[in-house]
Amino acid sequence: MSDLTLWMSALLAAAMLVSAVLSIVTARLPLAILSAGAVSLFASILFMLLGAPDVAMTEAAIGSGLTTFLFFFVLGRVGGNRHG
């Protein structure tokens, strides 16, 4: 593993940790959903960097894309009835 790959992996791991902590501690649901999606996006970039493009594409499509969309869809469906 080259030095550049090592530094980029460490930077992506740090970004994943910051996003994960942000998704846990925030009280705003849309920000928590976006932060959780960012964790998956950073993980897919890390998988690509480490030489696993099939895992990276699956993580990006399902982990980051579909799951984030589903969370926002459900939030939109339940969000209107929350105060009524």
The confidence score (pLDDT) of residue 69 equals 94
**pLDDT, mean of residues 74-81:** 79
The confidence score (pLDDT) of residue 82 equals 52
Question: d(Cα 21, Cα 32) in Å, to the nearest integer?
Answer: 9
The confidence score (pLDDT) of residue 1 equals 72
Which tens digits make up the pLDDT trace of 12-33?
999 999 999 999 999 999 999 9
Which residue, among 61, 55, 20, has the nearest Cα to 38 in the 3D structure? 20
Residue 83 has pLDDT above 50, yes or no: no
Confidence of residue 84 (pLDDT cuts 50, 70, 90): very low
